[in-house]
Structure 1
Amino acid sequence: AESRYFWFLIPVIVILVGVMALLATSVRGAHASRFEIRADGLRLEGDLYGRLVPRPELRVDLARRVDLGREEQLRPKSRRIGTALPGYQAGWFRLRNGEKALLYLTDRTRAVYIPTTAGYSLLVSPADPDGFLSQLRSVLGS
């Protein structure tokens, strides 16, 4: 009878370890999120959703600073695949205006909205949103 319980516990333990690993990766990503503006595009780094968004896909001319407390239409409505912890949202979300968006948000009041030509937008919260926008326009602007 004891061995039956042991075999039942193995999958439970494996699932718990997997969930804890994903949670640890997300928490680490929240603290390690970086946005690197390069000549070839915008590199998003942090957790599982990091990528390079190529320069031709970025609509730098429409990029702007946003306060999600005031701009309801740009608030995340539903998570497709991603992390949603207090003070940190990363991954693919659907916004209230219906747009698909890739988020790296730690501060909803100091976010930057960047549309793309690839059918989604970016919502990121760099430490200095105004400096980030200025650098984005000078490096990647038309």
Structure 2
Amino acid sequence: MAGAATEFAVAPAPIWRLLWLWVPLLGIAVLIVSTTLQHEQRTPMELGYTVPFLLLLMGVLSWAFFRRRIQLQHGELVVTSTFYRRRAAVSSLQLDKARIVDLAEHTEFKPGLKINGYGMPGFQSGHYRMGDRRKAFCLITDASRVLYLPLRDDSVLLLSPEQPRALLDALNAQATR
């Protein structure tokens, strides 16, 4: 079935990583409430706008954290991660150079500078620059098993599928068709 979409599970990211988001936002909310109530020039009405906005922001960023998908469909690898989506034709992948790596051991594959991304310790999503200045699109939830996929345009996909070997085998099978 060349046209059927195949989905590959993304390696799970522990929910406690959201504390990197929730704790600072709750700290900001507490700071805003305490300073608003201490100053006579500010009104409690300001809290009616600010606190719900922070709660909405927390909700949207939490929703985005769970928005992760890797699909192989119609000869394309489609990666959806937080606010980002990247499509790459299987024919544009250099599968002979693809590897499954542990980023702790192979630091040359680690994403470096965040260009347009969403990240916290142990979770990286979006557009980054590698140490050698190449562009990388990342969906990293488990740095110990990352599928490194170089593209012919000299950019890179860094993905954390639950079973990286299965995805690589499916990509190779698709490429030989």
Given the two structures, how large is their TM-score scaled by the length of structure 2?
0.66
Map of 1:18-33 to 2, 5 A cutoff?
Answer: 18-29=56-67, 33=68
Q: CA deviation at 1:137?
A: 0.7
Structure 1 unaligned segments of length 5 or more: list them: none
* Structure-2 separation of matches of 1:57 and 1:14: 45
Give the Cα–Cα distance (whole angstroms) in 1 for the partners of residues 170 and 162 of structure 2. Answer: 13
Secondary structure at 1:134's aligned position in 2?
helix
1:72 matched residue in structure 2 = 107
Distance in 1 of aligned mates of 2:176 and 2:115: 30
Is the contact between residue 39 and residue 55 of structure 1 (CA under 8 Å) also seen in structure 2?
no
1:16: which partner in 2?
Answer: 54
Q: Which amino acid counterpart does residue 87 of structure 2 have in structure 1?
A: L
The residue type equivalent to 1:26 in the other structure is: A
Q: Note if contact 2:90-2:174 (Cα within 8 Å) is conserved in structure 1.
A: no
Which residue in the other structure is 1:121 paired with?
A: 156
- Give the conservation status (yes or no) of the 8 Å contact 1:60–1:141: no
CA shift, 1:140, in A, is 2.6
Report SS of the residue matched to 1:5.
coil
Residue 62 of structure 1 pairs with residue 104 of structure 2: no
Could you tell me the percent identity over the aligned residues?
27
Q: Structure 2: which 5+ residue stretches go unaligned?
A: 1-38
8 Å Cα contact 2:90-2:171 kept in structure 1:
no
1:19 Cα deviation after fit = 2.7
In the alignment, the residues of structure 2 paired with residue 92 and residue 14 of structure 1 have an alpha-carbon distance, to the nearest angstrom, of: 30
Pair 1:92–1:46, CA change in 2 (3 A): closer
Q: CA deviation at 1:141?
A: 4.4
Question: Does the aligned pair in 1 maintain the 2:82–2:118 contact within 8 Å?
Answer: no
Aligned pair count reads 139
Q: Alpha-carbon deviation of 1:112?
A: 0.6
Tell me, in whole angstroms, the C-alpha distance in 2 between the residues paired with 1:42 and 1:71: 24
- Computed over aligned residues only, the root mean square deviation of the Cα atoms, in angstroms, reads 2.6
Structure-1-length-normalised TM-score: 0.80
Distance of 1:12 and 1:132 partners within structure 2: 44
